[in-house]
Structure 1
Amino acid sequence: MDATWAADQLNEFARMIDRLSELEMRSRSDTEEERDDLDREVRRQEPIMRLAENAIRPGSGDYSSEYDEWRERWWNARNAALQAAGLYQYGEEARRRLRPDAPDLVADQFHPWVWEAARPFWESDNRTEAVWVAARAVNGRLQQKLGRHDLGETRLCRSAFSTNDPKPGEPRLRFAGDRTSDTWKSRQVGAENFGVGCFSGIRNPVAHESDLVLDEPVVLEQLAALSLLARWIDECVVEHVA
């Protein structure tokens, strides 16, 4: 539905009724022709305006037209038109402002590896590029921390967080805590799978699909995911083979 057109038509319809009311109150012979023409046009348009009103808010165009007085009859039509137009023009903002308060993602509180890389592209409205460079930055930090540049992102994550003992040339990232506990093992496995998911599900699409366009909320969610991965990488200690 072209709601903008509908709102414009409804506002114009209300203005026509205002003008018609003014002419009716004058009751002058020199305005009779204009009044009759306008009355016909209002009556011609009213069924369409009812359709528009009901499209914007079901039931708003179902006002009664059974009135004895001319003014009461058309004033109901005028009010229904203005209310429906107002719902379109201001309703979305009102719903947004009246929503219960909820926490927001604050981008400058993301991990510095992510936000420092993404910020120039975010500020230039290149949201998809912001995700790509943030993912590259996290991968670069992971490579730097482990001293490894021989594996792609997903394979490097699997190797880094693996619960297997380190091997020559294959250091591991380790969370703090009791390594015999199920919780510690869960964190390691979770970080491994999460890292693989970030690079496979976030980094790869933005890197390989040139026409990919992401909405702002999606970009923020993806940057938040990369920020969490960055915090885990930053938090862990590197364990080399004994």
Structure 2
Amino acid sequence: MIVDAESRTDSDLPTFAPAQLHPVVWSGASAHWTTHQYRVAVREAAEGLTVHWKERLGRNHVDDTVFWQQTLSPGAQEPGKPKLTWPGALDDKTVRSMRGGLEPLAKALNLLATGLNLTVRNVTTHTRTELSEQEAMERLAAYSYLARLLDR
């Protein structure tokens, strides 16, 4: 292990460029990221993704957590409440879980969006505790992944 550690160079380490995050997420974060305001960058990215989808679906009047819960909930949409649905046939294992008896993966997407709103967006909005660059990058990556799933 010592030989392996000593033989490594910086070029062996994986690189990560925040500018390659989902465009909606990075556009919200970038101005604050460059000034090392990581908490604000994460908050703005979270807000930006929610605003993006609220505007696309015409649902600007709904609170954020409720918006995600309604927009990604199972079942048919109600008039005036458009929803996002996971594409594909229900027998496809990328649509249903690997154990066909569990709920469709769309339910997990609902929980992911709601969970990020409650644990990341709310915390960065209602506290003043600064995040480290690593903590902020992990949160932005989670939002970027969510954004890419929502695009599907």
* TM-score interval for Structure 1 and Structure 2 normalised by the shorter chain: 0.7 to 0.9
- Aligned 8 A contact 2:37 2:130 in 1: no
- Aligned 8 A contact 2:38 2:131 in 1: yes
Relative to structure 1, is the Cα distance of residues 213 and 196 closer, same or farther in structure 2, using a 3 angstrom cutoff?
Answer: same
Q: Deviations over 1:170-214 (max 9, x none)?
A: 11102221145564243201110000111101000110012x111
| Aligned: 1:228 with 2:152 | no
| Aligned: 1:143 with 2:51 | no
Deviation at 1:126, TM superposition (A): 0.8
What SS does structure 2 have at the residue aligned with 1:117?
helix
1:126 aligned residue:
37
What SS does structure 1 have at the residue aligned with 2:95?
helix
Instruction: Considering fraction of residues, name the structure with more helix.
Output: 1
Deviation at 1:99, TM superposition (A): 8.1
The TM-score, its normalising length taken from structure 2, stands at: 0.82
Among 67, 89, 95, the alignment partner of 1:178 is 89
Task: Work out the CA distance in 2 between the residues paired with 1:98 and 1:150.
Answer: 52
Q: Deviations over 1:141-184 (max 9, x none)?
A: 11012110222221111111112111111111022211455642
Task: Work out the CA distance in 2 between the residues paired with 1:179 and 1:144.
Answer: 29
Among 116, 120, 129, the alignment partner of 2:27 is 116
1:190 aligned residue:
108
Task: Name structure 1 gaps, 5 residues minimum.
Answer: 1-93, 236-242
- Aligned 8 A contact 1:105 1:220 in 2: no
- Aligned 8 A contact 1:113 1:138 in 2: yes
Aligned residues: 140
Kindly provide the amino acid, as one letter, of the partner of residue 173 in structure 1. Answer: L
**Structure with max Cα Rg:** 1
Deviation at 1:222, TM superposition (A): 0.3
CA RMSD of aligned residues (A): 2.1
Kindly provide the amino acid, as one letter, of the partner of residue 144 in structure 2. Answer: S
Deviation at 1:100, TM superposition (A): 9.6
1:62 aligned residue:
none
Kindly provide the amino acid, as one letter, of the partner of residue 150 in structure 1. Answer: H
Task: Work out the CA distance in 2 between the residues paired with 1:187 and 1:102.
Answer: 33
1:37 aligned residue:
none
Kindly provide the amino acid, as one letter, of the partner of residue 109 in structure 1. Answer: Q
Task: Work out the CA distance in 1 between the residues paired with 2:14 and 2:62.
Answer: 38
Kindly provide the amino acid, as one letter, of the partner of residue 153 in structure 1. Answer: D
Deviation at 1:221, TM superposition (A): 0.4
Task: Work out the CA distance in 2 between the residues paired with 1:99 and 1:111.
Answer: 26
Structure 1 segments, 4+ long, off by >6 Å, are: none
